[in-house]
Structure 1
Amino acid sequence: MYPKTFRSTLLLGAGLTALLTAPASAQDETTSETLTPATTPRLEQASNDIIVTARRRSESAQDIPLAVSVIDAKQLDETGAFNVGRLQQLAPTLQFYSSNPRNTAVNIRGLGVPFGLTSDGFEQGVGIYVDDVYYSRVASATFDFLDVAQIEVLRGPQGTLYGKNTTAGAINITTNQPSFDFEGKAEISLGNFAFRQARLAISGPLTERVAARVAFSGTSRAGTIRNVTTGEDIQSLDNLGLRAQVLWEAADNLKITLVGDYNKQDANCCGSVFVHTGTTQRPLNRQFAALAAAQNYAPPSTNPFDRLSDLDSQLNAGNVIAGASLRAVWDIGPGTFTSVTAWRYWDWKPENDRDFTGLSIVALSQNPSQQDQYTQEFRYAYSGTAIDFVIGAFAFDQRIDTQGTEAQGRAASRWNIAPNNPLSLDPSVLDGLTARNTQFLESTSLALFGQLSWKVTDAFTIQPGARVNYDKKKGFYQRRVFTGAGVELLGTETDARSRAQLAVFQPQVSAPEDTDWNVTYDLTLSYALAPDVLAYGAYARSFKTIGINQNGLPTDANGQPIAAAGTIRPETVDHFEIGLKSQFWDRRATLNVAAFRTDIRDYQATVINGEFGVLRGFLANAEKVRSQGVEVDFSVRPSERFTAYVSGAYTDAQYVRFVDAPCPPELSGGTTAAPGQTPSAPGTPGGISPANCDISGQRLPGVSEWAFSFGAEGNLPATFLGKPGRVYLGYDGSYRSDFSSNPSPSAFTNVNGYHLSNFRLGFRADDGLNLFAWVRNAFDANYFEQLFVGPGSTGLIAGLPGDPRTWGATASITF
């Protein structure tokens, strides 16, 4: 295998070669708009009309009674939003959190995925679709965007058309399709932190009936955090993507497209930095300061924005995402029949440092996984004078296998065993203690769905929809425990040394399984108050299906797994929304407003266990959760010389009732309160901790009350390099107010609000050439993407700083 630096240089060279060798005649005769085929949704510049496929058919975004944010290829390219994680700067109601590709959450309006460590046993609440293909895990969609034409962020439940996995919304990604005219685009970017990105897309005919499109993307960047232990920079990028499509026009009314893609990530990732400590209810001699002093340990810096880490375990975020699909579109009279057959594969090879320090406490933590997913969807869309409808069927089958290894290091005894126990002074007690975990998940889902639009009058439309879902889930989990000498512990040992080891890792076997039926339905009423003014109101009853505890079960007082915790109840979602969509000033200005309320019963939450080695998290039901708020989207284009936009969201998302939630770190680590015993005040060393906490009325994690995206671009006619075109200056900004970074809100893990500013200055030639310089996080704002509670209730808080100021330049040519 080539070294990473050589491979990155090779990718950059490929993009540069394509840029320099693009046919001059093609450059002279085409414009930037020719990249997008007529069959691909795109922005019609003359009318500000955006075509979307949010309802599984092509429509104007302003004509559909649905809150949707649309981000086109130009905005993605020029703002550097080349993956899902960067979309949240452009869509304020989208939240993205990732400590590594697997532990990634994408939420909309504060809902979607429980905050914390990912479990395969539950569904995500924000569905991700690429050209109609469903990506069942957020982690399997963490690739760089490749030859994307448009991204639609659908806000609110989309269960009728998109399935049980969309209780909070959906992200609908459309790529550029093969064309029968030769066309393409080549792009290269260079920046600080050794940033290099090369992208290439070429499309054209193979025969009179067959066309093909090939796209390539390569991204590399040095890390933004310095690991003083290894001398390496971590949080790097090293991504490779390939996508090939072949379109066969088998008949005038039948198109068949075969698609294959391969994406590989090989980053030196993922790490953290020391942020601060807080006082928990553990005895003082078992809190971070005392434990660190006992081993002469100090973090490399107490200022997290020095971006210094000292993690001593190997880090890796190896990720391979691949798949193939076959899509057939058959026009039958007034309607269109579509079949989408797809296979997706995901291979995850992680290595982590779960103690967040330079001490060898957790020496090894890795849970490699392999996923195979098969989907089949049939649907028929009919368009008539008074009635439109979509009906269809969907089938899903998935298998995930995971092989976990967790091992303790030489510092573990001092850290995990109470200081008054002589075993705490013997490193060999826990050094090499290893848990080997084997697990699998088999998941099957079937559905029938339909949605009807009845145009009662030219102005008034009634749109009902329904979906019937069947789900079956079957899991297996086994944990075997071995001492450093290789002796297996069965959990029945009674000697002091074995009991100290079993307090860290307990053997366990569980095999949860369950089935579930549910019905999703919605009703939307819309009324055209005037030309280009649409009012709508919607109600949706949606579900997130059963979950199973795939990573092991909590135990009772005798250390036995609680079998009843093997499965969790489905979520029941009631959603209400009203909205107004309008265009005015000869459609130069667009103003959309939506107000919503979503109530969820039996919310599927993650319960975190703060101890080393033992079960780190499992799923449970919170009684009720609510998210409500208001969203405003405004854009204006008074002339071809200037555009501006602002999007804002107020989101009030909270636990309405969750009386047995995990406690925040300031209430953890002490002696568990007996019945009738009053817990100590938060942060009382050696105090009494509640067995669980009532967090009813508190905010959901990861949700900012206020979030905004805003920007503008102006241009003037100019000639550069002998080419006529426009010089332009653009700005994009985003703001988020503070949010909680722990499932149970804690003063220790509150992330302060922050504002980011991005600028670009460039020249767009009329023949498709685009040259621009850019700077992102221009004012070098210090902010955290996420904070982490260190294990062991020691009060350690680690964090992941957001990217510092980055700058660079991009050259692209559309031909």
Structure 2
Amino acid sequence: MRSFPKSLLALACVLASQTLHANTQSLPTVTVTADFREVEALKSANSITVIDAQAISRRQAKHLDQLLNTAPNINYSAGASRGRFVQVRGIGERSQFKDPLDSSVGMVIDGIDYSGIGLAAALFDTDQIEVLRGPQGTQFGSAAMAGMINIQSAQPTEVGEGKIKLGAGNYGQKDAGLVLSGPLSDALLGRISVHENRSDGFIDNDFLGKDDTSNIDESSAKAQLKWLISSDLTLDLVAHYTDVDNGYNAFSIDNDRDIDADDPGHDRQETKAAAASLEWTGNDSFDLIATMSYEESDIEYGFDWDWSNIAAAGVRGGENNARDRDSQSIDLRLLSKIGQEIFGHTSWVAGVYAAKRDVELDYQDSWEDSSGGPWISTFENSFETDRKAVYGQLSSALSDEFTLTTGFRFERYENDYKDSVGVQSTQKDNLWGGKLSLDYSGIENTLLYGTISRGYKIGGVNGQAVGKVLSDPSTPADTAVFLLSRSNFDSETLINYELGFKGRYLDGSLDLAVTAFYMDRQDMQASVAVLFPPAEWKSYLDNVDDGYNAGIEFEANWRINDTITLFGSLGLLESELGDLVVEDPDTGGELDQSGRDQAHAPNYQFNIGSSINITDTLVLTVEVDGKDEFYFSNSHNDESDSHELVHMNLAYQLDQFSVSVWGRNLTDEDYETRGFYFDNAGRGPEGYHQLGEPRVFGVSGSYSF
């Protein structure tokens, strides 16, 4: 384990030295909505972080990636305009180019599955974010082998209300939002919100003389209806619209924020989505919940692959990946009523699920050099996935103190892939997941639990690498044989073991949660890359021998008195690759990565902070995020630097008005969010890194009515 930062220990000592006074208020109750039934977070035998609207506001987060560091053992990778790819406990995808993507970490927003399209995670008018660590196989199946992120928007209100929000900051930041909510009739509630977010970005393109080639241009709208049809029938409707037209111009030869690219990239997404949930409580024994959702997205991701210009490098080239994605799902669920448990002590859930997703890719690679051009290479593929599942869960009160929960899910999937170079593949498999959990509540205000859970991730096809072999006759024979033998990869299974406790202490002023876990990965899907001379890398997924991920997660929230609240989290992580030998980017020989840490799996992460009520209307919040160094890839050993980021928010609220002065990364720390290692400029293989957000600050104001 790498050394722990002294800054965290110093800050903890400073905060602990505050003078303590009698507390007069307990912490609010936090409810989790991602489970089959709504449950208090402190009564859920699961490792969960809940990020509420207050935490979103004090960080002035516009997107999910600006908040992920507050949860233990959660990392992300960019390689885009946003941190679109999330890793939970070191497990999760880091990029997507030509090949289809099935996510290890799921994302659901208002009951709609957004897994794999992270640009949609805008946070305006969000009530809370629930981060579930570990496999959620019973409820979400293959969409959540490593974990699940559930984002819940603010709900329609019974009383008419609204809010107007405006903000501005450095790097040309500006945003504006509007919320309207309230009753439309005696039986119909509604809510609508719209938000615009703009920024020039923090990259200077010296060649073009522009400072906005990595700009942020994001629009989102949400509409909700709650129809109280009768005393036992409720219909919830939600519709989303997202329009993102961000620039992507993040990598430079010198690893700084001064770019010389002549063909800046883009990161675009237009999504239309809707869901309907019907709840019927008219039966004496059970409730029925039926949910249907639909999502369609046009996604376009392009970049300048030489990171320079034709005058300096003698070549000009760029890639563009345009995807059309359509998804539909339906879930029918029965839940036992309170008082109608089996044998008087076993509540139950039973359900069926079906989903279909179609994704089509239109890829284009263009380049030119001093000899002529441009030359254009095209590629197309389509990927269809059908999933059907049945699931159930029993929660048995063995006594007043012990509860045993058993969950099971059986899932059948079929993938169909075909592309323009002749690769075709159909994969079918039966998979199962679930959990066995025993919790003990015999200690006052404390829950102890032990859980064994099983998750899984479906297999697929390595179309990008195999397509390159089939379309390029110059491919070395040994490389062709190697990749053709790996045209498909198998499903992965993950067995998770957890022990934990959580509780509320000191007259309700202190919440604590601690979890220890060990995750055994079987037929682990590892992303690696192979070199096609002279300098073209193609990635593929390979099943390697078992790896593991293990660690501890700690979270605390302490309202010391009416003035001071302390909060913090800590994640410790050890991970190991199974037997994996890759091509050495330095020598061209073999590089044995067996037993090395997995990519994007830092040994520690932390968040610690304090909110101080200076007056009844003025609150100061200071936070520090920290993260250990981590490997960028399984294919090389280039690493990020460890870092600590300081954030601040000074909020003033008087009646209906609120004003915040805020800043993120106040010490202007350079830190990396994505990295590659190869020879891009004729200087030999070296690391190239995308830098995260520098020091940003601004002012935000809102008026509620």
TM-score by length of 1: 0.78
Deviation at 1:543, TM superposition (A): 1.3
Q: How does 1:597-676 map to 2 (within 5 A)?
A: 597-611=518-532, 616-658=538-580, 660-663=581-584, 665-668=585-588
Inter-CA distance 104–775: structure 2 relative to 1 (3 Å threshold):
closer
Q: Would you say 1:373 and 2:327 are equivalent positions?
A: yes
Deviation at 1:654, TM superposition (A): 1.7
Residue 41 of structure 2 aligns to which amino acid in structure 1? A
Partner residue in 2 for 1:227: 205
Deviation at 1:390, TM superposition (A): 1.9
Q: Which runs of 5+ in 2 are unaligned?
A: 1-24, 340-344, 470-474
Deviation at 1:667, TM superposition (A): 3.3
What is the CA–CA distance in structure 1 between the aligned matches of 2:203 and 2:657, rounded to whole Å? 35
Q: Is the Cα contact below 8 Å between 2:263 and 2:303 reproduced in 1?
A: yes
Residue 657 of structure 2 aligns to which amino acid in structure 1? L
What is the CA–CA distance in structure 2 between the aligned matches of 1:322 and 1:449, rounded to whole Å? 29
More strand by share: 2
Q: Would you say 1:776 and 2:696 are equivalent positions?
A: no
Partner residue in 2 for 1:329: 279
What is the CA–CA distance in structure 2 between the aligned matches of 1:161 and 1:662, rounded to whole Å? 39
Residues 647-672 of structure 1 show CA distances to partners (whole Å, capped at 9, x for unaligned) of 001100120322x3343x2233xxxx
Deviation at 1:127, TM superposition (A): 0.9
What is the CA–CA distance in structure 2 between the aligned matches of 1:143 and 1:769, rounded to whole Å? 27
Partner residue in 2 for 1:80: 60
Q: Is the Cα contact below 8 Å between 1:706 and 1:737 reproduced in 2?
A: yes
Q: Would you say 1:191 and 2:81 are equivalent positions?
A: no
In our comparison, the structure showing a higher alpha carbon Rg is 1
Deviation at 1:374, TM superposition (A): 0.7
Q: Would you say 1:248 and 2:227 are equivalent positions?
A: yes
Secondary structure of the 2:422 match is strand
Partner residue in 1 for 2:17: none
Q: Is the Cα contact below 8 Å between 1:245 and 1:257 reproduced in 2?
A: yes
Partner residue in 1 for 2:112: 133
Deviation at 1:784, TM superposition (A): 1.6
Q: Is the Cα contact below 8 Å between 1:104 and 1:118 reproduced in 2?
A: no
What is the CA–CA distance in structure 2 between the aligned matches of 1:90 and 1:560, rounded to whole Å? 44
Inter-CA distance 609–211: structure 2 relative to 1 (3 Å threshold):
same
In the alignment, which of 457, 471, 486 is matched to residue 413 of structure 2? Answer: 471
Partner residue in 2 for 1:698: 596
What is the CA–CA distance in structure 2 between the aligned matches of 1:135 and 1:163, rounded to whole Å? 15
Residues 708-727 of structure 1 show CA distances to partners (whole Å, capped at 9, x for unaligned) of 0111101143xxxxxxx421
Q: Is the Cα contact below 8 Å between 1:348 and 1:369 reproduced in 2?
A: yes
What is the CA–CA distance in structure 1 between the aligned matches of 2:535 and 2:302, rounded to whole Å? 15
What is the CA–CA distance in structure 2 between the aligned matches of 1:741 and 1:806, rounded to whole Å? 25
What is the CA–CA distance in structure 2 between the aligned matches of 1:735 and 1:261, rounded to whole Å? 34
Compute the RMSD of aligned alpha carbons: 2.1
Partner residue in 2 for 1:544: 457
Q: Is the Cα contact below 8 Å between 2:529 and 2:538 reproduced in 1?
A: yes
Residue 753 of structure 1 aligns to which amino acid in structure 2? S
Partner residue in 2 for 1:739: 630
How many aligned residue pairs are there?
660
What is the CA–CA distance in structure 1 between the aligned matches of 2:51 and 2:81, rounded to whole Å? 23
Deviation at 1:120, TM superposition (A): 4.7
What is the CA–CA distance in structure 1 between the aligned matches of 2:366 and 2:46, rounded to whole Å? 49
What is the CA–CA distance in structure 2 between the aligned matches of 1:255 and 1:533, rounded to whole Å? 35
Deviation at 1:116, TM superposition (A): 4.3
Partner residue in 1 for 2:505: 584
What is the CA–CA distance in structure 2 between the aligned matches of 1:136 and 1:590, rounded to whole Å? 31
What is the CA–CA distance in structure 1 between the aligned matches of 2:686 and 2:368, rounded to whole Å? 18
Residues 449-484 of structure 1 show CA distances to partners (whole Å, capped at 9, x for unaligned) of 111111111110000100000110011122xxxxxx
What is the CA–CA distance in structure 1 between the aligned matches of 2:210 and 2:409, rounded to whole Å? 51
What is the CA–CA distance in structure 1 between the aligned matches of 2:606 and 2:670, rounded to whole Å? 18
Q: Would you say 1:239 and 2:127 are equivalent positions?
A: no
Inter-CA distance 400–322: structure 2 relative to 1 (3 Å threshold):
same
Deviation at 1:755, TM superposition (A): 0.4
Partner residue in 2 for 1:727: 618
Q: How does 1:193-208 map to 2 (within 5 A)?
A: 193-208=171-186
What is the CA–CA distance in structure 1 between the aligned matches of 2:36 and 2:463, rounded to whole Å? 34
Inter-CA distance 515–613: structure 2 relative to 1 (3 Å threshold):
farther
Partner residue in 2 for 1:811: 701
What is the CA–CA distance in structure 1 between the aligned matches of 2:443 and 2:686, rounded to whole Å? 58
In the alignment, which of 134, 154, 177 is matched to residue 176 of structure 1? Answer: 154
Deviation at 1:48, TM superposition (A): 2.9
What is the CA–CA distance in structure 2 between the aligned matches of 1:662 and 1:456, rounded to whole Å? 55
Q: Would you say 1:785 and 2:705 are equivalent positions?
A: no
Secondary structure of the 1:551 match is helix
Q: Is the Cα contact below 8 Å between 2:27 and 2:510 reproduced in 1?
A: no
What is the CA–CA distance in structure 1 between the aligned matches of 2:703 and 2:39, rounded to whole Å? 30
Q: Which runs of 5+ in 1 are unaligned?
A: 1-44, 276-303, 412-426, 479-507, 669-688, 718-724
Inter-CA distance 103–758: structure 2 relative to 1 (3 Å threshold):
closer
What is the CA–CA distance in structure 1 between the aligned matches of 2:234 and 2:463, rounded to whole Å? 41
TM-score by length of 2: 0.90
Q: Is the Cα contact below 8 Å between 1:112 and 1:167 reproduced in 2?
A: no
Inter-CA distance 609–563: structure 2 relative to 1 (3 Å threshold):
closer
Q: How does 1:332-347 map to 2 (within 5 A)?
A: 332=282, 333=284, 335-347=286-298
Deviation at 1:531, TM superposition (A): 1.6
In the alignment, which of 242, 254, 261 is matched to residue 240 of structure 2? Answer: 261
Inter-CA distance 738–190: structure 2 relative to 1 (3 Å threshold):
same
Partner residue in 1 for 2:39: 59
Deviation at 1:447, TM superposition (A): 0.7
Partner residue in 2 for 1:458: 400
Inter-CA distance 604–161: structure 2 relative to 1 (3 Å threshold):
same
What is the CA–CA distance in structure 2 between the aligned matches of 1:809 and 1:103, rounded to whole Å? 24
Inter-CA distance 334–183: structure 2 relative to 1 (3 Å threshold):
farther
Inter-CA distance 343–54: structure 2 relative to 1 (3 Å threshold):
closer
Residue 375 of structure 1 aligns to which amino acid in structure 2? S
Residues 712-771 of structure 1 show CA distances to partners (whole Å, capped at 9, x for unaligned) of 101143xxxxxxx4211111210001111122341xx21110000011112122x34221
Inter-CA distance 647–751: structure 2 relative to 1 (3 Å threshold):
same
Inter-CA distance 99–435: structure 2 relative to 1 (3 Å threshold):
same
Partner residue in 2 for 1:409: 368
Secondary structure of the 1:75 match is helix
Q: Is the Cα contact below 8 Å between 1:101 and 1:142 reproduced in 2?
A: no
Residue 690 of structure 2 aligns to which amino acid in structure 1? L
What is the CA–CA distance in structure 1 between the aligned matches of 2:56 and 2:366, rounded to whole Å? 42
Inter-CA distance 101–571: structure 2 relative to 1 (3 Å threshold):
farther
Q: Is the Cα contact below 8 Å between 1:360 and 1:408 reproduced in 2?
A: no
Residues 38-79 of structure 1 show CA distances to partners (whole Å, capped at 9, x for unaligned) of xxxxxxx85432111232211110011111000001111220
What is the CA–CA distance in structure 2 between the aligned matches of 1:698 and 1:325, rounded to whole Å? 43
Secondary structure of the 2:224 match is strand
Residue 593 of structure 2 aligns to which amino acid in structure 1? I
Secondary structure of the 1:666 match is coil
Deviation at 1:557, TM superposition (A): 4.7
Q: Percent identity between the aligned chains? A: 23
What is the CA–CA distance in structure 2 between the aligned matches of 1:795 and 1:357, rounded to whole Å? 17
